[in-house]
Structure 1
Amino acid sequence: MTGRGVLLLDAGGPESGALARAAAARGHPVHAATATAAAYAGYGPELKALLAGRVVTDFARPDRALAEIVAYARRYDIGAVLTVNEYLTELTALVCAELGVPGNDPGRARAARDKAAMAEAFAAYGVRTPYTVLVRDDAGLRAAPEDPRIGFPYVVKPVSGAGSAGVTVVTGPAGAATAADAARAVTGMYGSGFPGILVQAYAAGTEYSVESVTQGGTTTHLAVTRKRVTGGPRRVETGHSLPIHLPPAVEAAAYREVEAAIAAAGIRHGASHTEVIVGADGRCTVIEIAARLAAGQIGVLIQHALGIDVWTALLDTALGRPAELTPTAGGYATVRFLTSPRTGRLTSVSGLPKPQPGVPFVRRRAAIGDTVHEPSTNSHRLGSFVVTGSDAAEVEERADALLRRVRIGVQPLPGPAQARPASTSAIAP
């Protein structure tokens, strides 16, 4: 290997694995920073074989982690630092700044993690976003919907969190306390929580995300992704599809708002994932931004639908090299997530498709015997599969048909709250 080293902060998960493979294929030694030796033990054998070294640090103590990671990186000639972990994007910006390698603005990086800081940054940069207040006690919670800029329905969410954890749509006073409890229960990985909860005006419309890469302050939008989301108070994603072609004027307006959000969060070198709502009037509202590649196999969708090697593009961006972001294909891709019909013990999964032409990615996350949950956060997914093709309608129909074949068997857990018989349920799209 002849290239400079590449350091991944938390190398677990399929997205990190893809980055590691891309770096190794280009001749770069791959290193990982892990929270514990046990975290490293959970890496698969393929990833372990790729690693040239690792540093174990305490991500719950950012100052210590920064010093230890920077010392390690200097010792091993690290030329690029990346993460796809939501909770480590601020630390990544700080490490990059210390090393003098391409990264995001360390002074604004918290705005992509602390959602109260995000709301303030969006307001300062003129981003169209729902009115948001930080609530520290029950009195503030009761007062929030009396503000005409909020009213009912409204959204309660944790200041720190990811994957829709602790996010609730509140339609009346009776749901406020439960929603607040759910938000307060979210602590984040590595104890990286911020105090208080947020009450946010509800934005009605269709939910999308915009996947972008910024290089030296210049942003390229790779795709607009449509999201399938459950109804009810807990909105959980059940699928993603891309590329979505919005009307030109709507798309241009959405990109303007997203670029303002990218600037507000100090994203200068790397991926961003911006969640937006497009209303019936075509106006775009930015809900949140993350300074990372989207999870939920969106990188796989981009690769197969558009022919963009997003992993190599992110590597090049982190190394300060021009990234190739021009689509080489004009296809379509969608992902469906497997979820449990109830909380209990997983007893069976049948009908899951196998990888084949048009189904390039299939993943199981839960093992038989695991405790599974009726989904209230994206972390409750049992697995997923991706379907690709040239025609959007055909791809969506095939994905829905494959999903209907999947059956999930769940045995209730012992106790009076789980007295119903075991369920074997088809997963509705």
Structure 2
Amino acid sequence: MTGAAVLLLDAAGPEAAALARAAADRGHQVHAATVADGPAPAPELAGRVVTDFARPDRAVEEITAYARRRGVGAVLTANEYLTGLAARVCAELGLPGNDPHLAHAARDKAAMASVLTAAGVHVPYTRLVHDDTELHDALADPGVGFPCVIKPVSGAGSAGVTVVTSPAEAAAAADTARTARGRYGDAAAGILVQAYAAGDEYSVESVTQDAVTTHLAVTRKAVTGGARRVETGHSLPVRLPRATETAVHREVDAAIRAVGIRHGASHTEVVIAPDGRCTVIEIAARLGAGHIGVLLQHALGIDVFAALLDVALGRPAALVPTVHGHATVRFVTAPCAGRLTSLAGFPKPGPGVPFVRWRAAIGGLVTAAGVNADRLGAFVVTGPDAAEVERRADLLARQIRVRVVSAPLRTGRT
């Protein structure tokens, strides 16, 4: 092994695994900070420190002590819930990282709305509410209106988020938001009521190094309708009209600065109205999930995981596209809650289909999609022409047959 060791905060999940592989392939020892009963970490690990992420002060002490013993020269995370902790650890170790005093604003969505508004970023009008009286007042606020969005202060993957079209729906939506706690004992007070931003949904994938931001791509998001919105696909890169792209990048640049992102990835969700107006919905100080890293690699030739490793190590990162193609990921969901009895027609890897992933077990219980974590599987389609890639992905998606029985199978039944 050569070079400084690399430490991941949480080493489970596809993005963390890709970061671990990128580091190991370049000769770095890979270590991780994990919780005692967490998911299985990436297999490349040379060692790990077990800590309690729900006690951040103690976690910082334990992680930094471990990092100093092991010669760690870079700290990264793909876990949105740990981006603030990563900023603190980097600051303690003197490593490239985000502003530890602002990092909470990329996690606490009430703080996010406040700092983005103060920075002049166009965001939805937002009210923080703590009880039923404040909820009633927020719903009566002309700045909110209907439809509106009720969501938790802390959360990810659309958990606890409801689009509300009338006052009668608000109480149930508020209860949903209150019960959608984040990980690691996150106990942020209150829930948010936001004005609904109408338009098409996108995200902007960016990497910042030494406070200089490179926007890698704009991603189109396919989202279900109704009260609970779940992402069903991502496609990139999207070519926006020049004036619209400039306006989007201007808003995203301001948002990145406002939440103190100085070294690393960011994933900014935006809505573009029919008149081209850009509204920033949320920003996360991490790479976009949902296999966006895979899309960037195949559509643009950018190894974003290697680039993020270089950023964390303080080395120049390769962020210029080497190819100019198109990639889309489609997610498969269950038609209803119940027991998964069969799957047919799911794509296999091959030319133009570089990535497939199925998460659910035949015979296991599944739920209808209410949050992004309910997705059963995904496949990626790539090619030089955007329209042809989308057409092929649609064709493959139509061939998939997922059968779910609405009631659990009886004991002993085959």
TM-score, with length taken from structure 2 = 0.97
- Matched with 2:184 is 190
Contact 1:159 1:193 in 2 (8 A): no
Aligned partner of residue 39 in structure 1, secondary structure: coil
Runs of 4+ aligned residues of structure 1 deviating over 4 Å after TM superposition are: none
Provide the C-alpha distance between the structure 1 equivalents of 2:38 and 2:403, rounded to a whole number of angstroms. Answer: 29
CA distance in 2, matches of 1:329, 1:194: 43
Structure 1 position 178, deviation (Å): 1.0
For 1:350 and 1:3, the matched residues in 2 are separated by 46
Which residue does 1:7 correspond to in 2?
7
Q: Which amino acid aligns with 1:39?
A: G
Deviations 1:53-84 (A, max 9, x none): 11111111111111110110000010000001
- Summarize deviations over 1:365-398 as a string: whole Å, max 9, x none: 1112222111110000101000000111110111
Check the 8 A contact 1:161/1:193 in 2, yes or no: no
Q: Distance in 2 between matches of 1:414 and 1:250?
A: 50
Q: Select which of 347, 370, 374 maps to 1:353.
A: 347
Contact 2:339 2:408 in 1 (8 A): no
* Aligned equivalent of 1:162, options 156, 163, 173: 156
SS of structure 2 residue aligned to 1:28: coil
Asked whether the equivalents of residues 339 and 404 of structure 2 are also in contact (C-alpha less than 8 Å), the reply is: yes
1:414–1:51: structure 2 CA closer, same or farther, 3 Å change rule?
Answer: closer
In structure 2, do the counterparts of structure 1 residues 349 and 414 end up closer, same or farther at CA, with 3 Å as the change threshold? closer
1:401-416 → structure 2 map (5 Å cutoff) = 401-413=395-407
Equivalent residue number for residue 242 of structure 1: 236
**For residues 15-414 of structure 1, what are the structure 2 equivalents within 5 Å?**
15-36=15-36, 38-39=37-38, 42-43=40-41, 47-48=42-43, 50-413=44-407
Q: Deviations over 1:115-144 (max 9, x none)?
A: 000011101111110110101001111111
2:8 aligned counterpart, secondary structure? strand
Distance 2:187 2:307 in 1: 31
Structure 1 gap ranges (5+): 416-429
Give percent identity, aligned residues only: 70
**Unaligned stretches of 5+ in structure 2?**
410-414
Secondary structure of the residue aligned to 2:52 is coil
For residue 289 of structure 2, give the secondary structure of its aligned residue in structure 1: coil
**Could you say what secondary structure the match of 1:282 adopts?**
coil
Task: Report the Cα distance in structure 1 between the residues aligned to 2:59 and 2:286, rounded to whole angstroms.
Answer: 20
Question: Does the aligned pair in 2 maintain the 1:229–1:235 contact within 8 Å?
Answer: yes
Report SS of the residue matched to 2:184. helix
C-alpha separation in 2, matches of 1:182 and 1:39: 25
Against the structure 1 CA distance between its residues 64 and 369, is the aligned structure 2 distance closer, same or farther, given a 3 Å change threshold?
farther
For 1:128, what is the secondary structure of its paired residue?
A: coil
Mapped to 1, the partners of 2:209 and 2:92 lie a distance apart of: 19
Q: Which amino acid aligns with 2:258?
A: A
Instruction: Note if contact 2:73-2:313 (Cα within 8 Å) is conserved in structure 1.
Output: yes
Q: Which AA in structure 2 matches 1:408?
A: V
Counterpart residue type for residue 87 of structure 1: Y
Per-residue CA deviation, residues 129-164 of structure 1 (Å, 9 max, x unaligned), is: 011010100111111121111111110010000000
Instruction: State the Cα distance separating 1:414 from its structure 2 match.
Output: 5.0
Other structure's SS at 1:180 match: helix
Distance (Å, rounded) in 2 between the aligned partners of 1:314 and 1:26: 13
Aligned AA (1:244): V
Q: Would you say the 8 A contact 1:213–1:269 is kept in 2?
A: yes
Give deviations 1:226-249, integer Å, cap 9, x for gaps: 000001111110000000010000
